[in-house]
Chains A and B, each alone.
Chain A
Amino acid sequence: MSFWFWHGLRKGVQSTRYPARAENTPGVSPGRPVNTDFSSAEEARRAAAICPTDAIIAHGKSTYINHGKCVHCQLCLRSLPSPMNWEPGYEWTRLPSNRAESLPLPSAFAKSMHIMVVDAGDCGACLRELKQLNNPLYNMHRLGFFLTATPRAADLLLVVGPVSENMRGPLLKTWEAMPTSRKVMAVGACAISGGVFGKSFMCACGVSSVLPVDFEVPGNPPPPLAILHGLLVVAGRKSVGPVQESPKGDTAPWR
């Protein structure tokens, strides 16, 4: 005899209250480095040199972070005498560098959005974080987000992975098969910039070289709440995070 309903009632609601309330449980996000002003240019250069993915760029005494490349390896936090600043949080969704603005889906989709996920050469990490959204803790269905297996019924194309050569065609076909109110969201550093795979003859170096990307969720992998924030942004229920400052002084996020 199973008492699952009794156990369920006794445990109460375990799902996160996000987005109604901020989720501050320790461990929900690995955090990420942010732009830091050091006391000397030497310290800034050392910080840039230690980054294995060239996500940190030194400019005078300041370092700038390209979150599209950062893999949260924490070398710049733990292996430097004067570490980079580190921010907790997860509301990281941003616009691609080639876009001044992206409109969310029309308001009819705000409470009902169907998502088609395409694995374009993902290592599995982003997919695993994405899968967490189905579990009772994050439970994206309560927000009206549903995964679908057919592009004909999908409103959002969610791409993970750097777009390997073999997945370029299927990805384009999927995009073409979707109804035209579609949005494209690149999730993870690989999907944004090619990440640790970079550009090669078998790898397209990010989704934006194949499709027009509307929103990006940086992180490698981004935690589930970051992806959930991205979905809320696409649905028009949240806005994109503050624009990162870049070395040349323009405010567009850069890669």
Chain B
Amino acid sequence: MAIIAGLSLGAIFVVCAGGVLFSAVLGRKHIPAVLAIAGAFSAILMALTSAAVLLAHQAFEVGLWILDGFGRFTIHLDPLSSIFLFASGVVYFSISLFVGSFLRNQGDDAHPTLHFSILYFALMAAVVLILVAGDTVLFLISWECMSILCFLLINYDPRGQSDKSAGYIMLAMSEAGFLAVAVAFLLLARSAADLSFASLRSASGSLSPQALWLTFLLGFFGFGVKAGLVPVNFWLPRSYTAAPPVFVPVFAGITLNLGFYGILRLNADLMHAGFGTGLLALITGSVTALVGILYATTDGDMKTMLAHSSIENAGIIVAAVGAFLVFRALDQPVAAALAVSAALYHMANHSVYKTLLFEGAGHVEAATDTRDMDRLGGLARVLPGLSAIFLVGCLAISAVPPFNGFVSEWMTLQALLRSAILASTSVRIVFALCGAALALTAALAVTCFVKVYAMNFLGIRRGTWEPQARTQAMSKFPLAILAVVCLLLGILPTYVLPILSESVEPLAGASVTTALVQPFFTATPQNAQLPAAFLQDFHNLGAQTGKGFVPGRGLVVLLRGLEANPVVFAMSPSYSVVALALLLVVTWFVVTRLTKRRTLARRPLWAGGIPRLLPLMTYTGTGFSNPVRVVFQAIFRPNITEDTRQTVAVHFRTAIHRQREETHVVDRLLLKPIGAAVQWLAAFLAGMHHGRLNAYIAYVLAFLLLVLFFYRGG
């Protein structure tokens, strides 16, 4: 297994290099095909590498060359990085095919240059290197490469039209984050023998609580920038919106995950972050989720809105990580395992459905030349296939069973509810409030994606765009793969959890498989974990349906409690999807039987009897989300200007022009005060530059005296 892992890991880099080579040799015309084939191939290799590690139940480690002063470069692939690598592999497979087919559809003039190909494959290699890095130096170098490549790809614009500021904001934030991360690792490395993760891990036990807090804060800031946490996420919606449509899925599905990987690697694996840090992560995550979904619900631009939704999902994941840290610090291994597996599950789910949605948004933009949801509409008739696949993505992200979002959000909320086992009342209150914020987030997410689907695909066409059904059947294939993955992750949690358990067990100290996936299929009557009476009860409920011909431990996710409360929670998406399908079939039969004798009459749309229903009169996304805007006005603080044009008298209005401006709450509360403070300081210091030569000479003299004063001894 180690040989397979090593070979395929090496092969990833070879294929990436080969992709660049073929792009250069075959010429511009064939670059989409090279991107698709080489990209998909190395994505498969990524999945293969991680699968080999996960199946072998042991980490894959290999030492590379020694760099003077930095120690040995090591590659270390443990179950935690394998989970991330596997998710990246699945997502990259779809993205590579999407990039190829999308660019092909765009026509010859939009074909990418060799430049794009190099950046694309280099980013792929950098992502893999971050995930497999076994020492600080390799990790930081590849992290820095990743940041710079992201910046270059955002600004990749062969026509040179786009605004470059978004890219620079992102680069500045990434670099600040990188510095913080570097300092965090150096703090950890102060007492370690060398810079490899293994020695950092063993040295972190001796750190003082203050040093642990400082390391946590620096790392949380640095990785939080990449993960899009409040308040350092202001770059995220801007750069997602500015990035080319072929590249946004990489952002949402791949590089966002690296932030979670960093947070987990640093705080859960390398050091045992304490109880307070966990609470901080939990609160930050919940606030991020709420702020993210509020702006997602009210934003009218499809890409920006999906970016805000990514922030929301990042918040949910980090909240689960925070809950995990608290549970682990308070010695609750089962609850900790539940929380961290919810975080990993949600991470995988988010990268799958968000990639799907961004790819769909790219196709919509290509077909209509607009992203404004107030101008789109009626796309279900123009692009029926894309509409169906996009609907799967919307259902999954709204946490509607039987799709994957439901399982992980449900597990996250259950993990927060497990705070009932904690002793401290104040901690329980914090958990309850964060759980309430996440529940509100989940509800708003449904509103948000009802809006996205309904406003883009249903109703009538509202804009002036002409529908161009340019997308070929082939180009929907990468999206369809992800839709299927959404469904599989949603209905087979009892097969996914044992895989996650591999990486959860070393972190949390308890197996999530034993805790959650009860062996209904494999249990014998003498099993200590499942008493006979308990088993009989659940047998009567149908929990053993399929025993014998369905592999695995069972199809029910169930957490057992104490005597008084034997079942803490239980669910089975696998059985429910069968039940739902049966209900659907039965309903269909009943309805068709009952309405057999009815005739169907089609009449024109009823629009209140007005002479002509103009597209602009129909319900818009802005109108749909207005209740949210009104309820949360305290957060949005809009700036509304109204300009009324009137003739004759006050009552005869010819036009009302209403303009509404919003500053993002983070910009308003964080960036503006900082900007104002810097400007004030600059204005204060500028007072020195009044142009009098004598004074300048006095400054020089004073500075000289100061220097002499400090170096008087030496």
Interface of A with B (CB < 8 Å)?
A: 150-152, 169-171, 173-174, 176-177, 179-180
Contact = CB atoms under 8 A, between A and B. Distances in A.
B107 interface: no
B606 A177 contact: yes
B609 interface: yes
Scoring B601, B606, B610, B611 by chain A CB atoms within 10 A of each residue's CB, the highest score goes to B606
B601 A174 contact: no
B606 A150 contact: yes
Nearest to A166: B611
B597 to A, nearest CB: 15
B278 to A, nearest CB: 51
Given A152-B606, A174-B609, 12 more contacts: A150-B606, A151-B606, A169-B609, A170-B610, A170-B611, A171-B609, A173-B604, A173-B606, A176-B603, A177-B603, A179-B601, A180-B601
Nearest to A176: B603
A157 to B, nearest CB: 12
Nearest to B608: A170
A182 to B, nearest CB: 12
Contacts, number: 20
Contacts of A151: 606
Interface in B662-695: none
A207 to B, nearest CB: 15
Contacts of B611: 169-170
A176 B601 contact: no
Contacts of A152: 606
A173 B609 contact: yes
Contacts of A174: 609
Nearest to B610: A170
20 contacts: A150-B606, A151-B606, A152-B606, A169-B609, A169-B611, A170-B609, A170-B610, A170-B611, A171-B609, A173-B604, A173-B606, A173-B609, A174-B609, A176-B603, A176-B604, A177-B603, A177-B604, A177-B606, A179-B601, A180-B601
A77 B611 CA distance: 45
Contacts of A171: 609
Nearest to B609: A170
Contacts of B606: 150-152, 173, 177
A179 B601 CA distance: 9
Nearest to A169: B611
Q: Which 8 A-B pairs have the closest CB atoms?
A: A170-B609, A177-B606, A173-B609, A174-B609, A177-B603, A169-B611, A176-B603, A152-B606
Q: Is the interface of A mostly helix, strand, loop or mixed?
A: helix
Nearest to B606: A177
Nearest to A174: B609
A171 B610 CA distance: 10
Interface of B: 601, 603-604, 606, 609-611
Scoring B601, B603, B604, B609 by chain A CB atoms within 10 A of each residue's CB, the highest score goes to B609
A170 B608 CA distance: 8
A179 B611 CA distance: 21
Contacts of A177: 603-604, 606
A169 B608 CA distance: 11
A151 B611 CA distance: 16
B622 to A, nearest CB: 24
A148 B603 CA distance: 19
A251 B603 CA distance: 39
A86 to B, nearest CB: 40
B17 to A, nearest CB: 64
Scoring B603, B604, B611 by chain A CB atoms within 10 A of each residue's CB, the highest score goes to B603
Nearest to A179: B601
Contacts of B609: 169-171, 173-174
Nearest to B607: A173
Contacts of A176: 603-604
Contacts of B604: 173, 176-177
Contacts of B603: 176-177
A152 B603 CA distance: 10
Nearest to B605: A177
B601 to A, nearest CB: 7
Scoring A151, A176, A177, A179 by chain B CB atoms within 10 A of each residue's CB, the highest score goes to A177
A169 B611 CA distance: 7
B598 to A, nearest CB: 11
Contacts of A169: 609, 611
A42 to B, nearest CB: 51
A174 B610 CA distance: 10
Nearest to A150: B606
Contacts of A170: 609-611
B186 to A, nearest CB: 69
A150 B603 CA distance: 14
Contacts of A179: 601
Contacts of B610: 170
A173 B610 CA distance: 9
Nearest to A171: B609
B619 to A, nearest CB: 16
B537 to A, nearest CB: 47
A114 to B, nearest CB: 15
Nearest to A167: B609
B555 to A, nearest CB: 44
A174 B608 CA distance: 8
A177 B601 CA distance: 10
Nearest to B599: A180
A176 B602 CA distance: 10
B286 to A, nearest CB: 42
A183 to B, nearest CB: 17
A173 B608 CA distance: 9
A167 to B, nearest CB: 9
B288 to A, nearest CB: 43
Contacts of A150: 606
A17 to B, nearest CB: 37
A171 to B, nearest CB: 8
Contacts of B601: 179-180
Nearest to A178: B603
Nearest to B601: A180
A173 B605 CA distance: 10
A177 B608 CA distance: 10
Nearest to A170: B609
B664 to A, nearest CB: 40
A235 B610 CA distance: 30
A150 B606 CA distance: 8
A169 B610 CA distance: 8
A174 B603 CA distance: 11
A173 B606 CA distance: 8
A176 to B, nearest CB: 6
A29 B639 CA distance: 57
A176 B603 CA distance: 7
A179 B606 CA distance: 12
Nearest to A118: B609
A150 B609 CA distance: 10
B253 to A, nearest CB: 44
B603 to A, nearest CB: 6
B368 to A, nearest CB: 31
Contacts of A173: 604, 606, 609
Nearest to A149: B608
Nearest to B611: A169
A180 B604 CA distance: 14
A154 to B, nearest CB: 11
A172 to B, nearest CB: 9
B613 to A, nearest CB: 11
A135 to B, nearest CB: 27
A169 B601 CA distance: 21
Nearest to A152: B606
A180 B611 CA distance: 22
A171 B603 CA distance: 15
A235 B555 CA distance: 57
A58 B186 CA distance: 113
B40 to A, nearest CB: 50
Contacts of A180: 601
A151 B604 CA distance: 12
A117 to B, nearest CB: 12
A169 B603 CA distance: 15
